[in-house]
Chain A
Amino acid sequence: ETGVTQTPRHLVMGMTNKKSLKCEQHLGHNAMYWYKQSAKKPLELMFVYNFKEQTENNSVPSRFSPECPNSSHLFLHLHTLQPEDSALYLCASSQDSGGVGTEAFFGQGTRLTVV
């Protein structure tokens, strides 16, 4: 248990569906992240929020829409996904996003399958 909780753990959705992934941390961290993990590929950083403000969007398609209502919660809204979007989506948090040596704590991930 790392203190970062993601729900749901597994999600199967059709290409026309709308769904949301949720991430919650009560570690008092100010930075939260969404990563995409595909097999045999490096982790891909998608979004960074620091003090609830989005500070990074790594050219992610608009069918992925993040939301950070407060520093403890992070959502990833999904709409009109493609089969190649199937992956493990990991949420992480850290004390802040700029500190050197800052440890990131990861959730267990949501295994997303797009059919």
Chain B
Amino acid sequence: GEDVEQSLFLSVREGDSSVINCTYTDSSSTYLYWYKQEPGAGLQLLTYIFSNMDMKQDQRLTVLLNKKDKHLSLRIADTQTGDSAIYFCAEKRDSNYQLIWGAGTKLIIKP
């Protein structure tokens, strides 16, 4: 199986909260990232969290990290149509500077 796993799709209503989940396998992860890719664009760093943190909040974004379960989530409050994109989870391990990527979750906003 893949080292970083995400659901491929998430559909939410405009104005609701979106929660995008990610699981990883390596306990030596140091940083975990969320990147956003809008249609026709490259990836843009949204936020990241250091592995000794449980939560990080930045305006409408909340990142939760459960290191015991190796579970990372991104919550987007008051989801807007502009949030439509693919969201990638990535981890950086202590043993390897390379980022290990998930396959991305496509967020679909329903009116």
Interface residues of A (CB under 8 A from B): 2, 4, 6, 40-43, 45, 48, 56, 90, 92, 97-109
Knowing that A42-B104, A97-B97, A101-B50 touch, tell me 15 more A-B residue pairs with CB under 8 angstroms. Answer: A40-B103, A41-B103, A42-B101, A43-B90, A90-B42, A98-B97, A100-B97, A101-B92, A103-B45, A103-B48, A105-B45, A106-B35, A108-B40, A109-B41, A109-B42
Q: Are A101 and B48 in contact (CB under 8 A)?
A: yes
Known: A42-B101, A56-B98. A4 touches B42 (CB 8 A): yes
Interface residues contributed by chain B, number (CB under 8 Å): 26
Main secondary structure of the interface of B (DSSP, over half): strand
Leading 4 A-B pairs by shortest Cβ distance: A106-B42, A43-B101, A106-B43, A42-B101
Main secondary structure of the interface of A (DSSP, over half): loop
Asked whether B87 is an interface residue with its Cβ less than 8 Å from the other chain, the reply is: no
Q: Are B98 and A45 in contact (CB under 8 A)?
A: yes
Known: A4-B42, A56-B98, A106-B43. A40 touches B8 (CB 8 A): yes
